[in-house]
Amino acid sequence: MNEEQDQAARVQQAAGVLADALRHASGLPSGLSTVRLAVDLRQVADEALASAVRRARASGHTWQELGDTLNTTRQAAFQRFGRPAGATAIDPATGLAMTEVLLPGAAERALAVFAALFDGRDEEVAADFDETMRAQLPLPKLGEVRAQLDGLIGRFERAGEPFARVVGTYTVVDVPLAFEAGEMNGRVSYDRDGRISGLFVLLPQAV
């Protein structure tokens, strides 16, 4: 059995087990077992996605095409899939090798931040701000940012797949944001303690 066949078999098995568990969920004593099965499926699906991206690149597709397909930017697609397995990350500030330690749950937290921002729940957005952010971006300014974006590119519609990475001592999460009249890129930076030290809505080419 080659690598592709082995991968296909693992995806099929994980999907089948999860589907069976969901069909019989009402008879389970706890939903945690189903959550674990879903996590297992996500892991093998992520591995399959990485293999599919490598094959697409080998057949000549660009990072822009892949970014469009993945509903993210070409930079985020490259950062997620472009570095060979086992390659050492480099701290852009020092040029030295560094160990990547992402803040756990950063991607999900960033999605929640932008959901709260565009839903008008400003106190929730600012709940994890560090001292500098609280001073530079008080609650009234969050409302002003939302109004400016609404005037420029219309109503917020949806968020794409977040991409988290380590930059120096920070975990930075980029989130593609779709509006009525265009696309933007949301960015949240977290310090080592999980506090928000940066919050931006950028043009995609500024990523």
Tokens describing residue 66: 């892949």
78-88 pLDDT, tens digit each: 877 876 554 55
pLDDT at position 117 is: 96
Q: What is the 3-state secondary structure (H, E, C) of 42-54?
A: HHHHHHHHHHHHH
The amino acid occupying position 92 is P
pLDDT at 20 over 60: yes
CB of 199 within 8 A of CB of 187?
yes
pLDDT at position 29 is: 47
Higher pLDDT residue, 156 or 167? 156
Tokens describing residue 22: 């969901």
97-126 pLDDT, tens digit each: 444 578 889 999 999 999 999 999 999 999
| CA dihedral over 129, 135, 137, 138, signed as positive or negative | positive
pLDDT at position 191 is: 92
Q: Check: pTM over 0.85? Answer yes or no.
A: no
pLDDT at position 96 is: 47
**Confidence at 30, pLDDT banded by 50, 70, 90:** low
168-183 pLDDT, tens digit each: 788 999 999 999 999 9
**Which candidate, 136, 93, 99, 140, places its Cα nearest to that of 120?**
140
Which segments of 59-169 are extended strands (E)? Answer: 89-90, 97-98, 156-159, 163-167
DSSP conformation class of 128: T
**Which candidate, 81, 101, 105, 77, places its Cα nearest to that of 91?**
101
The amino acid occupying position 86 is G
